[in-house]
Homo-oligomer: A and B are copies of this chain.
Amino acid sequence: MKLSNRAVDVQESPIRKLMPYANKAREKGIDIYHLNIGQPDIETPKEILNEYRNFGSKILAYGPSQGLDLYRKNLMRYYKRHNIELEVDDIVVTTAGSEAIVFALLSTCNYGDEILIPEPFYTNYNGFATMTGVKIIPITTFAVNGFQLPDSNVIKKLITAKTKAIILCNPGNPTGVVYSRAEVERVAKIARENNLYIISDEVYREFVYDGSSHTSILNIKGLKDQAIMVDSISKRYSACGARIGCLISRNKKLIASVIKFAQARLCPPTIDQLAANAAIDIEEEYFKDILAEYNERRNLVFSELQKIDDIICVKPTGAFYIIAKLPIKDSEDFTRWMLEKFSYENETVMVAPAQGFYTTTNLGKDEIRIAYILNVNDLKRAMLIFRKGLEEYKKIRKE
């Protein structure tokens, strides 16, 4: 029986595909520091976890397709604190940010249409593009200048009659880049002039450092019908398993279409929405500590990376990722080698080879992504082992 072309073509997760090597290392009794995945080690706030204990109904029923009214109303208050003024019907609750991106692509693009995305980008955009039959055209950015956007002319040259949207991930996974207001305005201008939607993935909104601030696409003027924001509670509250996100737009026709797609799948999980709702007001007390913790980790990883000769890495100002260009040829080979052949005092480190974050052939082959999602002591140890591994790998591969 033949599978569909898209079933054959859809990208295997480049992060998860190395897991068998990690499993084998563990079977040999080697402990692994996982810097390869975006699963935070931060405890989920008790407000969320307790809410799962508070469900009072006797029937676990469907909710509305656009999400629970209670939760959507409270989300308005959360966004207001971030200076984003919304009406309740601008918000559609989704099964995590993933579904919000799929709905955004389905609503804006026909099969075969194109979207621009700065690369390196979140690999799962590839999967969503395959599912929806949309072609990703990369706007290539580079480690040497911290993955800032290129000149507007470079972006404009990529636009064709088929281009329907630009996806911005801000703050960025996997780069940690935070686009300044001026940069977001610049992209907005291109979108306005070319009738493009901007799909802004802002799931790391709170994770900005060094006093820089986050610019939501919903706060750019003159973009009412073009701005689509995608959000999720996964990283914000370390609640990845809840699968609660949302899609927000002030374009009422677009929202009406999104709701039709949402009706087909009936509703997002009910109790998880109530749990997300319980987190609405915990922000300030919660985030001060979390941000201080992540900032310390970021500083640590960055300064440890600086000890490596010939590394190229600009200090990122957002999210909890850092991409480094290493003095090696093949970071996937290196990552596998760290799991298969290397250990230091019975421990090793797993990172994410960065090639999977690029669509342009051969880009990122010498880069890795580190997710700084371990506590400072573990991170310090992990970075020491990483450096030792890299030194040895360089010697061996030279032979």
Name the contact of A59 in the complex, choosing from B3, B41, B55, B260 (C-beta under 8 A): B41
A142 to chain B, nearest CB (A): 26
Asked if B264 and A242 make an inter-chain contact with CB atoms under 8 angstroms apart, the answer reads: no
Q: What 1/0 flags go to A224-249 for Cβ under 8 Å of B?
A: 01100000000000111111000000
Q: Is A161 engaged at the interface, CB distance under 8 Å to the other chain?
A: no
Q: What residues of B have a CB within 8 angstroms of the CB of A59 in the complex? A: 40-44, 238
Given the known A-B contacts A1-B225, A3-B108, A44-B59, are A16 and B257 also in contact in the complex, defined by CB atoms under 8 Å? no
Task: Give the most central of A102, A126, A238, A266: most B CB within 10 Å.
Answer: A266
Given the known A-B contacts A39-B61, A197-B1, are A243 and B95 also in contact in the complex, defined by CB atoms under 8 Å? yes
Given the known A-B contacts A16-B65, A60-B44, are A4 and B241 also in contact in the complex, defined by CB atoms under 8 Å? no
Asked if B48 and A60 make an inter-chain contact with CB atoms under 8 angstroms apart, the answer reads: yes
Q: Is A49 engaged at the interface, CB distance under 8 Å to the other chain?
A: yes
Q: How far apart are the CA atoms of A22 and B30 in the complex, in Å? A: 62
| Nearest chain B residue, comparing its CB with the CB of A243 | B269
Q: How far apart are the CA atoms of A60 and B236 in the complex, in Å? A: 12
Q: What residues of B have a CB within 8 angstroms of the CB of A242 in the complex? A: 60, 269-271
Q: What 1/0 flags go to A258-299 for Cβ under 8 Å of B?
A: 101101111111111000000000000000000000000000
Asked if B263 and A13 make an inter-chain contact with CB atoms under 8 angstroms apart, the answer reads: yes
Q: What residues of B have a CB within 8 angstroms of the CB of A261 in the complex? A: 7, 10, 127, 131
Given the known A-B contacts A4-B109, A225-B1, A267-B243, are A10 and B260 also in contact in the complex, defined by CB atoms under 8 Å? yes
Q: What 1/0 flags go to A105-121 for Cβ under 8 Å of B?
A: 01111110100000000
Given the known A-B contacts A4-B108, A260-B10, are A58 and B39 also in contact in the complex, defined by CB atoms under 8 Å? no
Q: What residues of B have a CB within 8 angstroms of the CB of A243 in the complex? A: 95, 267-270
Q: Is A11 engaged at the interface, CB distance under 8 Å to the other chain?
A: yes
Q: Is A253 engaged at the interface, CB distance under 8 Å to the other chain?
A: yes
Q: Is A147 engaged at the interface, CB distance under 8 Å to the other chain?
A: no
Q: How far apart are the CA atoms of A5 and B257 in the complex, in Å? A: 10
Asked if A240 and B60 make an inter-chain contact with CB atoms under 8 angstroms apart, the answer reads: yes
Q: Within residues 31 to 54 of chain A, which ones have a CB less than 8 A from any CB in chain B?
A: 37, 39-44, 48-49, 52-53
Q: Is A96 engaged at the interface, CB distance under 8 Å to the other chain?
A: yes
Asked if B257 and A241 make an inter-chain contact with CB atoms under 8 angstroms apart, the answer reads: no
Q: Is A396 engaged at the interface, CB distance under 8 Å to the other chain?
A: no
Q: Is A366 engaged at the interface, CB distance under 8 Å to the other chain?
A: no
Asked if A263 and B58 make an inter-chain contact with CB atoms under 8 angstroms apart, the answer reads: no
Name the contact of A128 in the complex, choosing from B16, B126, B241, B264 (C-beta under 8 A): B264
Given the known A-B contacts A49-B60, A107-B4, are A269 and B266 also in contact in the complex, defined by CB atoms under 8 Å? no
Given the known A-B contacts A6-B110, A133-B133, are A241 and B269 also in contact in the complex, defined by CB atoms under 8 Å? yes
A314 to chain B, nearest CB (A): 28
Asked if B131 and A264 make an inter-chain contact with CB atoms under 8 angstroms apart, the answer reads: yes
A277 to chain B, nearest CB (A): 14
Query: A residues within 8 Å of B by Cβ?
Result: 1-8, 10-13, 16, 37, 39-44, 48-49, 52-53, 55, 58-63, 65, 95-96, 98-99, 102, 106-111, 113, 124, 126-128, 130-133, 164, 195, 197, 225-226, 238-243, 251, 253-254, 257-258, 260-261, 263-272
A-B contact pairs, 23 of them (CB 8 A): A4-B106, A6-B111, A7-B107, A7-B261, A8-B257, A10-B264, A11-B264, A12-B263, A16-B65, A41-B59, A43-B59, A44-B58, A61-B240, A95-B95, A95-B269, A106-B131, A111-B111, A124-B266, A127-B261, A131-B132, A131-B261, A131-B264, A271-B272
9 tightest CB-CB pairs across the interface, nearest first? A127-B264, A241-B270, A7-B257, A98-B265, A13-B263, A7-B107, A60-B241, A243-B269, A1-B225
Known: A3-B257, A16-B65, A62-B240. 13 other contacts (CB 8 A): A7-B260, A10-B106, A10-B260, A10-B261, A37-B62, A42-B59, A44-B58, A53-B53, A60-B239, A63-B241, A95-B243, A99-B265, A111-B111
